[in-house]
Amino acid sequence: MPDVLTPDICVIGAGSGGLSVAAAAAAFGVDVVLVEKAKMGGDCLNYGCVPSKALLSAAKSAKAHGADLKIGFEGVFEGVKFAKANDHVQAVIAAIAPHDSVERFEGLGVKVLQDEARFVSSDCVLAGETEIRARRFVIATGSSPAVPPIPGLAGVDFLTNETLFELREAPEHLIVIGGGPIGLEMAQAHRRLGSKVTVIEAQKALAKDLPEFAVVVLDALRAEGVRILEGAAVNAVESSGEGIQVHFETEDGTSSVNGSHLLVAAGRKPNFGSLGLELAGIDVEGGGIKVDAGLRTTNRKIYAIGDVIGGLQFTHAAGYHAGLVIRSILFRLPVHEDRTIIPWVTYTSPELGHVGLSEQQARDRHGNKVRVLTADYADNDRARAEDASVGQLRLVVGPRGRLLGGDIVGAQAGEMLNLLSLALSQKMTMGDLAGFVAPYPTLGELVRRAAVSYYAEAPKNTWVRRLLYLLRQFG
């Protein structure tokens, strides 16, 4: 007979979202079982955010060691030891891993089962030989690389984010299929670490971002030597000598490119195929698990969070979801997911970030009451001092000066987006953003500068002038 566990909460998946739910519930003394069939920490720690940003950091360091005409340094850079960059990636993962480990979570009071979980009924999960009958379940199984059905792809050795960070030698020529954030971040990193890089994108690169801001990033990557082909649909892949040949078609006709390595970065797919969702009465919609505004599935005992529900597939979105379901499960509070407050950042150089509504979305809701405010990096003293004057901050402002959305392209865009995310979530206005004191000189002054411009017409207002005249009469 199988062992039977009856915890208050069963969490399936030990990625960012699942670990956050398990840790928070255990902190309140709640009985929790956590099931994970692969590595603790999930995609973010092992194959995603952590290793990619570590590699970008190594690449940035390599770029910084080149000639610098500002100080008259014309030294010769002798090259990069790619294996050392990989060592840095692995060291960063190893340093963070204990925080996500089985040992730590068992120390917190969580029962961890390292096995595959599948539903066998609407209220029971089987993990190995263990039955779990919980009051509530949380599915947090994340996502994995989507592999498009390209003829010949299955017959060649290709990389995804799950295998890319195993490389110990720099690819001679890395071909990247996909011009989204992952593809472009890795393209720039490998170019800076010594590889020739070609990116092939069927549509527009960075298509979900503000087009004129995306162009700033693409121009910067091209200036560093990354070849970016847009509107190029890959129609076949084949082995070619010791490398790989990728055939593609553009409006100018068919062409091909030869490389030593191929990275497929064509999006991600939610992981739920082996969960037995149909036995639990859980529906799938739009490629992900269907949930309501409170993140409940079509089985009211079961929640789903993070990448597995589709939509915005970010680690911080999964963490946000975790907080919502904890409030719902433990405290029976009503919760409502608000995707408009979820920011995203592409960590190229320059960085590119967005939060909230786009200008068009805002105008669809508020019509001509929407204003767009901008501040240029070129007008910021810190940006000038650091030779980072290419970029712009843009605020979308609605009725009564309320912030509705923001976009940034430029140095440290991700860090500055923190302030905009806070302002958006707290429904702040331009008065709030114009009123805070930013230390000088910082890039954060761009936010205040844009907000102050909201009041640029006030000195010309007839009523304001009359009021000032009246006040002067009192001495």
> What does the domain layout of the chain look like in residue ranges?
3-145+269-340, 153-267, 350-460
Per-residue DSSP letter, 75: P
The residue ranking higher by pLDDT, 103 or 64, is 103
Query: What's the pLDDT at 473?
Result: 86
Closest CA to 86 of 113, 110, 62: 62
Answer whether residue 205 shows pLDDT above 70.
yes
User: Span 125-140, mean pLDDT?
Assistant: 97
264 token code pair: 């497929």
Do 153-267 and 350-460 have matching folds? Answer: no
Average pLDDT over residues 400-420: 98
* Alpha helices in 137-178, H assignment, sequence order: none
Average pLDDT of the residues in 177-185: 98
Q: Does pLDDT of 77 surpass 60? A: no
pLDDT at 464: 77
Fold (topology level) of 350-460: Enolase-like; domain 1 (3.30.390)
71: pLDDT strictly greater than 60: no
pLDDT tens readout for residues 135-153: 999 999 999 999 999 999 9
Please give the CATH topology (third level) of the domain spanning 153-267.
FAD/NAD(P)-binding domain (3.50.50)
Indicate the range of 328-337, 382-391, 457-466 predicted with least confidence.
457-466
Say what the pLDDT of residue 304 is: 98
Across 383-399, average pLDDT:
97
Longest Cα separation, the chain: 92
Contact 269, 143 (CB under 8 A): yes
The pLDDT assigned to 472 comes to 86
What pLDDT, on the 0 to 100 scale, is given for residue 241? Answer: 83
Is the predicted pLDDT of residue 222 greater than 60, yes or no? yes
In this prediction, residue 85 has a pLDDT band, given cuts at 50, 70 and 90, of very high
Is residue 65 very low, low, confident or very high in pLDDT (cuts 50, 70, 90)?
A: confident
Judged against a pLDDT cut of 90, whether residue 354 lies above it is answered with: yes
- The angle formed by the CA atoms of residues 85, 86 and 90, to the nearest 5 degrees, is 120
Above 80 in pLDDT, residue 289?
A: yes
Residue pLDDT, tens place only, 8-38: 999 999 999 999 999 999 999 999 999 999 9
- Phi, psi (rounded to 5 degrees) for 329: -70, -45
Q: Going by C-beta distance under 8 Å and a sequence separation of 6 or more, which residues neighbour residue 126?
A: 2, 117, 118, 119, 120, 132
For 412-448, what is each residue's pLDDT tens digit?
Answer: 999 999 999 999 999 999 999 999 999 999 999 999 9
Q: List pLDDT tens digits, range 225-279.
A: 999 999 999 999 999 888 999 999 999 999 999 999 999 999 999 999 999 999 9
- Tell which residue, 260, 282, 265, 264, has the closest CA to residue 273: 282
Amino acid, res. 233: A
pTM, whole model, 2 decimals?
Answer: 0.94
Mean of per-residue pLDDT scores for the chain:
95
Q: For residue range 259-274, what is the model confidence (pLDDT) as tens digits?
A: 999 999 999 999 999 9
301 pLDDT more than 90: yes
Look up the CATH superfamily of 3-145+269-340. FAD/NAD(P)-binding domain (3.50.50.60)
Predicted pLDDT of residue 357: 98
CA 387 from centre of chain:
27
Whether the pLDDT of residue 469 is over 80: the answer is no
**DSSP type of residue 316:** H
